[in-house]
Chains A and B, each alone.
Chain A
Amino acid sequence: SAVISQKPSRDICQRGTSLTIQCQVDSQVTMMFWYRQQPGQSLTLIATANQGSEATYESGFVIDKFPISRPNLTFSTLTVSNMSPEDSSIYLCSVVRQMNTEAFFGQGTRLTVV
């Protein structure tokens, strides 16, 4: 298994500001991902966080809006920039230890933009 700590667990932010979400894993993992879950919806992959290089973004997500860092094999951050109420969602970190094994998910960060 993998123990994932996501911070903050929830936040209420003013529109136009930015929030950085942290994801810390208890041991080294091969892959780290960020997902978004909009209210009442399923999960959507935002990007794959690559260690030491730029993240790989899915269609519809851009680096300027969701900058991601992954400085090492156990830590990643997702920033939600210039927030609007439409960014109100749960943001989840996910990790995979090795290919062809299961993915583990953090508890999520519940973001409300007012």
Chain B
Amino acid sequence: DAKTTQPNSMESNEEEPVHLPCNHSTISGTDYIHWYRQLPSQGPEYVIHGLTSNVNNRMASLAIAEDRKSSTLILHRATLRDAAVYYCILRDVSGGGSNYKLTFGKGTLLTVNP
């Protein structure tokens, strides 16, 4: 599985934007970039995913570098509820319908200050 590298921790202030980086220099053409987050004492929840183009949804934006070797999850206005561990995961879709393995790294612990 392709690997991702994220900072261990980041800190932000409430109502300010947050940019969470992820490096994936060995990404292959069939790897989708997924972001999940895990709030304290909860299971992970899906945030966003993309392949090549930047993506936006109600939770966040995903900016993908042109060479796809890095990406950035953008929270436009952090709230206290956004404090969580954020995981950047590459999911290989080349296996077709039988392959849906998510390999979680250590992720980035985001602290949001009031």
Q: From the candidates B44, B45, B100, B104, name the one contacting A31 in the complex (CB within 8 A).
A: B100
A103-B46, A105-B44, A107-B42 given; A45·B102 CB < 8 A: yes
Residue of A4, A43, A102 ringed by the most chain B CB atoms within 10 A: A43
A interface, size bucket:
20 to 34
Q: From the candidates A43, A44, A96, A100, name the one contacting B44 in the complex (CB within 8 A).
A: A43
Interface residue SS majority, chain A = strand
Q: Give the shortest distance, in Å, between A77 (CB) and chain B (any CB).
A: 17
A105 touches B45 (CB 8 A): yes
Q: Give the shortest distance, in Å, between A35 (CB) and chain B (any CB).
A: 8
What residue of chain B has the Cβ atom nearest to residue A41's Cβ? Answer: B106
A42-B105, A42-B106 given; A99·B43 CB < 8 A: no
List residues of B whose CB falls within 8 A of some A CB: 32, 34, 36, 42-46, 49, 87, 93, 96-97, 100-107
